[in-house]
A and B are shown apart, each in its own frame.
Chain A
Amino acid sequence: GQQLNQSPQSMFIQEGEDVSMNCTSSSIFNTWLWYKQDPGEGPVLLIALYKAGELTSNGRLTAQFGITRKDSFLNISASIPSDVGIYFCAGSRQGSNYKLTFGKGTLLTVNP
């Protein structure tokens, strides 16, 4: 079963607000990935993190790989309506680096 705890489960925000979501694990992960999924489509990669402490940005998105290697967060600044979707964290563990474990997702709704 899934081992990543992703929160919050859903968020309703106003356009222009900043958003933060996070993912925690009871196990050490050596890679964290953040994906966005639109209805009826596959997940689209947003940011990949490979080292503990790493902070990476992709436009208005910023993600960090936690120092303990058991957590990661994703921030979205100045949200816009097209940010609507489900955001998933995913990670891989030492010795299973081909297998991604996903969180249950955060549903983001942006009110214009």
Chain B
Amino acid sequence: DTGVSQDPRHKITKRGQNVTFRCDPISEHNRLYWYRQTLGQGPEFLTYFQNEAQLEKSRLLSDRFSAERPKGSFSTLEIQRTEQGDSAMYLCASSTVREAGSTDTQYFGPGTRLTVL
């Protein structure tokens, strides 16, 4: 069983450009999450999918951010008109339903490090 994979691992872009990241979850995991991590902090929740449905978005996810999971497998996170404050590690995690009403065990990918110049 391969783990969560993310592409690219590193992205350097100029302010104002658009960027897109991809996440491939562990196969057959129906839940997928995006988190953002800045230096010296723990990851912060951005959004969550169950299959192809996006069920929650954090207020951290401004209207410049959009995430999709069109076929319930891989997901993309797009940031439009990037700002220097968007520089962070973007982490993807996936899980399968452990039992109804309980928290799944989330497995993280290696992350995409974004630097906005």
Contact = CB atoms under 8 A, between A and B. Distances in A.
A binds B: yes
Interface of A: 2, 4, 6, 30-31, 33, 35, 40-45, 48, 50, 88, 90, 92, 97-105
B85 interface: no
Q: How many B residues touch the partner, as a band?
A: 20 to 34
A50 B101 CA distance: 12
A100 to B, nearest CB: 6
A94 to B, nearest CB: 9
Contacts of B33: 98, 100
B103 A102 contact: no
A43 B43 contact: yes
A95 B108 CA distance: 22
A48 B6 CA distance: 23
Given A2-B41, A88-B42, A98-B56, A42 B111 contact: yes
Nearest to A88: B42
Contact of B108 (A43, A101, A104): A43
A45 B107 contact: yes
Contacts of A90: 42-43
B22 interface: no
B14 to A, nearest CB: 22
B106 interface: yes
B103 A43 contact: no
Nearest to A97: B103
A92 B111 contact: no
B9 to A, nearest CB: 8
B48 interface: yes
Contacts of B104: 97-98
